[in-house]
A and B are shown apart, each in its own frame.
Chain A
Amino acid sequence: MKRFKWLSFPYFVWLILLVITPIFVMLAMTFLSMNGMSFSKAVWSVDSYARMGDPAIYKALWNSLVVAFFTVLICFALGYPVAYIISFSKLRNKMLVLLVMILPMWSNSMLRIVSWLRLFSTDGLAALHLLGSNEAVIFVTVTTYLPFMIFPIYTVLEKMDRSLLEASRDLGVPAWKTFLKVTFPLSLGGVSSGVIMVFLPAATGFAISQTIGQGKVRLIGNLLQSVFEKNNYNFGSLLSIFVSLCIILAILLIIGLNSLVKKAKAKLASSSLNKGGNL
């Protein structure tokens, strides 16, 4: 089937056009100053770089990281047990339970956000002043992206070789230890993809912070959006590159942490094995 190699070429060109070209366009834009995209009136300038000193940028970035961190944490704390319970349950119709979980995703996410907004502004809940707080933004982000945490973990748990768990139990290992030493390490792949899938939209979105946050919660996405709204494509380009770099760093960190945990587990396992051998 090697003759079909060329079929990847159109996609390669497509990716170069839509992934690599924008990076160079953005880079070029950061050294210019103009209104919108009118290149005819563009002048060379480093204004965009001067604006990077603005502390508001770092405040928004920090706030995004805080919101995304807690969203991921809560999604994990709720999502992992749910995936685990369903996967290890004796239910005959697991598919049906999964469908029940998918069904809310068939409601438009923006409309779901608007519904939370309406609920939070009812007389009873308005007294709590939920709107405009970081907590409310985190809460709504959690309910929006929770399925993205549950499904990858569930898939990994379903594919796991259950005889390993039986072996552990037959050897007299207590259930909690089996979970910590066998089940959880084997499900880390699903956890890290769940974490990435929740972290990305939570850190860079702007709709939830705009509506639920009432403009008081400013995330990096809000900043980026407002810069483009003001037609400042030059500073906006620089900010986009900055956001992408931060995302790459965060993903590398998540992947790195994952492999670090795996390595530590492997070391622990081999050392305990050696101990067992000595006995």
Chain B
Amino acid sequence: MIEKPSIWQNVATLLRAFFVIAVVSLMYIPVVIIIYQSFNAGANSISPLTWGGFTWDNFSEIFTNRQLYTSILDSLLVSLWATFIATIFGLFASIGIHALTKKARKAMDFLNQIPMLNSEIVTGISIMLIFSLLRPIFPKVFGFVTMLVAHVFFMVPYVILMVLPKLEQTDESLFEAATDLGCPPYKSLFKVIIPSLSTALLTGAFLAFTLSIDDFVISFYTQGNGFSNFSNYVYASYTKKNFSAGSYAFNALLTFATLGIVLFAGIKMGKKKNKKEGK
């Protein structure tokens, strides 16, 4: 049944599109400001957002401003390692939780939700307190180690959240078939079960990385000894008024890169679709 849309339906569609665009643009205003500032020679001036002419200088500042540069590297270092560790930790924890009895499982599910439902500030303080107790033994523990532990701590529940439902859907008889045919259980785990979880693992890792690279509060309490991340650099330098416009440039660069990847993937996917439809 194909009806010709009436004028009112068209108006309604238009209004809906307008609403979505209005809300989305609300989220885009800061992104536009960041990109504008990254090319603005007057980005650091006291009068805010005045155009001081076009420049590439802010981009070179990413490499010349030592504090900014190290904070970016520290961010990447912590987030990449934490994503790697949390994904593997989360995978094995999920397999373990999946095998538990109903009662033990309930207790684990509850414990696993605490890092997600507790406020970030209390999580950060908790981990800071634990490591403060260790400070007499390891005086230089604050920095990379504390931040890594804290990030892995808040990421693992998200990985489990992605992996566990997928594990529940996996057909266990495949695993049994493998062992019945003489494949040792741990080998079947790696050859049969884990490959079937690859998409969930990837989504979990992606989600975890996104949360980690953007984290402010938990890193605020676990930074130290000159080791910090990008969010905390922005916060600290802004309050100390030695903020570098290179921050805008770095962020704009990241936005352009993701936009490029998304567009590329979109075009490729569109081509595939067209090919399929063409057949």
Contacts and interface: CB of A to CB of B under 8 A. Distances in A.
Interface string B23-67: 110111111011001000000000111000000000000000000
26 contacts: A3-B99, A8-B100, A10-B89, A11-B92, A11-B108, A18-B149, A22-B125, A78-B26, A82-B20, A86-B20, A99-B266, A100-B24, A103-B259, A105-B210, A107-B254, A109-B231, A111-B234, A115-B29, A116-B29, A119-B33, A119-B48, A143-B27, A201-B120, A203-B119, A204-B122, A205-B120
A228 B221 CA distance: 10
B166 to A, nearest CB: 14
Contact of A15 (B114, B132, B216, B262): B114
A221 interface: yes
A137 interface: no
Given A105-B214, A205-B217, A240-B122, A143 B33 contact: no
A147 B149 CA distance: 27
A204 B120 contact: yes
Contacts of B248: 111
B121 A204 contact: yes
A176 interface: no
A85 B114 CA distance: 33
Contact of A37 (B100, B132, B175, B247): B132
A7 B92 contact: yes
Given A200-B117, A225-B121, 8 more contacts: A3-B99, A10-B93, A26-B126, A86-B20, A103-B258, A104-B27, A143-B26, A204-B122
Interface string A109-153: 111111111110111000000000000000000110011000000
Interface residues of B, number: 76
Could you tell me the dominant secondary structure of chain B's interface residues?
helix
Contact of A146 (B27, B97, B135): B27
Contacts of A210: 239
A78 B27 CA distance: 12
Contact of A206 (B49, B93, B121): B121
A211 interface: yes
Interface of B: 16-17, 19-20, 23-24, 26-31, 33-34, 37, 47-49, 89, 92-93, 95-100, 108, 111-112, 114-115, 117-122, 125-127, 129-130, 132-133, 135, 149, 153, 156, 172, 175, 185, 189, 193, 210, 214, 216-217, 221, 230-232, 234-235, 238-239, 243, 247-248, 251, 254-255, 258-259, 262, 266
